[in-house]
Amino acid sequence: MSKLKEYFYTDWEAMTASDWVGMILTVVVFLLMVALYFYVLRPKNREKLEKQRFIPMDED
């Protein structure tokens, strides 16, 4: 177990501004992707999304 804990150890104080920006951006994008995933696959939204199914192929 200590090997696993040692593997995931993070030295928070040694992180630079770039490290913090990258970590925060990664977490935010992950959360947005999860939210979008649940929004698109929710049965309640099916009819609303199906109406927009052929928008890329419609001609103006």
Q: Is residue 2 part of a domain?
A: no
Q: Is residue 43 part of a domain?
A: yes
Contact residues for 15 (Cβ-Cβ < 8 A; gap 6+):
23
Residue 57, phi-psi category: left (phi > 0), alpha (psi -120 to 50), beta (remainder): alpha
Q: Is residue 30 part of a domain?
A: yes
Number of domains in the chain: 1
Q: Is residue 5 part of a domain?
A: no
> What is the distance in angstroms between the CA of the first residue and the CA of the last residue of the chain?
62
Range of the domain at 49: 11-57
Q: Is residue 45 part of a domain?
A: yes
pTM (2 d.p.): 0.65
Cα separation, 15 vs 30, whole angstroms: 21
Per-residue pLDDT tens for 1-58? 688 988 989 899 999 999 999 999 999 999 999 999 988 888 888 888 888 777 777 7
Q: Is residue 6 part of a domain?
A: no
Evaluate whether 39 touches 30 at the Cβ level (below 8 Å).
no
